[in-house]
Amino acid sequence: MSARPAEIQECLERIDQQLGIPKHYKMSSSPFIFFRGSASLFYQDLASGLLQVPKPLQSLPLTTIMGDCHSSNFGFLSEEGSHSSDIIFSPNDFDDACIGHASWDLLRFCCSLFLCAAHCQAISRGDIASDAGQGKAYVDQSGAEDAAFAFVSAYGKACNSQEKAGYQSGLDQFPEQHFLFKSFNKARRRAAGGEDFYRKSAIAKSVDLDSYPLTFARRAERFERLHEDEFSTLHFDLSPFVDDCILDIVKRLNAGTGSVNMDRYYLLVGPKDAGKHELELCHLVEVKHQREAAPIYYFPELSPNNRLNPAHLTVMCQRRMQRSPDMVLDETEWRDGHWLIRSRHHARLGFDPEDIALGKKATKGGFKEYAEACGTALALAHSRGDRRSQQFEQSVRQYLIGQEHHIVKAAKAYADQVNEDCQILQQLLTNKG
């Protein structure tokens, strides 16, 4: 086996124990999905020098980073988990969050824009199945490059504020002409008290509203019912972490991409004997087996904070990066592992590639506007890593200017590498099968 296939196989097997699990077949279907599921390979390539950060950006102070920063890990959500009806556009995935280099998030997001555009081109051509995407206009690679520059520029502009009060600002308003305006209103309607709460909120789509007391819906592709003994054990072990009664528990199936093979459970929490009319008082809590953040294996000495157990580190970083952290956000050592416990947002609204890079609105500036919003949201999240001073923002102003072209160029070149790597994975799976 030549060097690159061996590197990819070794990296995937280190994370997933073996090659050829369903996650890998999902990853092989598209370079964008491959990128989502292979964050560890990205950091291996940074460590080896295959992917290089522009030298001036290496002078930025360390801060809290997403770790798996890409175009589908931003979106609208209800702040404080399910305990607020305030809607904000922000990062929505902190599973690989740690103390690290902000440039890693910048590079990874820019790379995802090129892969996102290529993914939608494949949908338009009919190479990737889609219900309504074939033949549609798509953002091309030139459009992806424009969006990448807009993302970096918006990031720098957000760091240019001189006000510490900016830590409490957020993207919670959009003008009517903005690409995200309709999505923003859609999310607002799904929040508690919104007109679509009983139809479209995360909790409404997860529970059987006709049951009394409320229970999770019978959805075999999504939820696995627990045996009575296991239910009783989980109920006893997890009750101390929630703020009300546990009404029901299920095992969550097929969630995520990079962590699709990690065990997770959903708790339905609310008043005792709650029925449909108490739904606004109920919420979902996810209990997820957490593994080490992707950057840490290759950069183990970066920060003492990164020696925290994986779930504890996620909780710490998420609390710092969010404007208003989830009300339920905790961790525990359980079943010989570390588990993350956190609210599921009632009004979570994410974006797949076809939502942002396919169709006329996307090609006429929408994709660029989406990238700008992500750049602003990421800058706020990074800046909140240290709320005592503005040293991070000052360093961004000093070192980012003039590096935009180098960031985008490196990201575009690495997107080509990801395309090759996806083809290599396809061949590895063919040889295995």
How do residues 300-340 score in pLDDT, each as one tens digit?
A: 999 999 999 999 999 999 999 999 998 899 999 999 899 99
d(CA 294, CA 20) in angstroms, rounded, equals 20
d(CA 341, CA 81) in angstroms, rounded, equals 12
For tokens 């997001």, the residue is: 109
d(CA 245, CA 268) in angstroms, rounded, equals 8
Residue range 144-154: mean pLDDT, rounded: 98
Residue 358 has pLDDT above 80, yes or no: yes
Residue range 101-128: mean pLDDT, rounded: 97
d(CA 279, CA 58) in angstroms, rounded, equals 49
Poorest-confidence range of 57-71, 161-175, 270-284, 412-426?
161-175
d(CA 171, CA 296) in angstroms, rounded, equals 30
d(CA 378, CA 155) in angstroms, rounded, equals 7
Give this prediction's pTM: 0.95
pLDDT at 258: 58
d(CA 218, CA 427) in angstroms, rounded, equals 38
Helix axis angle for 141-158 and 367-383, nearest 10°, is 30
Tokens found for residue 240: 């101390």
- Residue by residue, DSSP assigns 61-105 as PPEEE-SS--TTSEEEEETTTTT---EEEEE---TT-EEE-HHHH
Query: 83 falls in which pLDDT band (50, 70, 90)?
Result: confident
Sign of dihedral through CA atoms 155, 302, 262, 327?
A: negative
Query: 374 falls in which pLDDT band (50, 70, 90)?
Result: very high
pLDDT at 100: 98
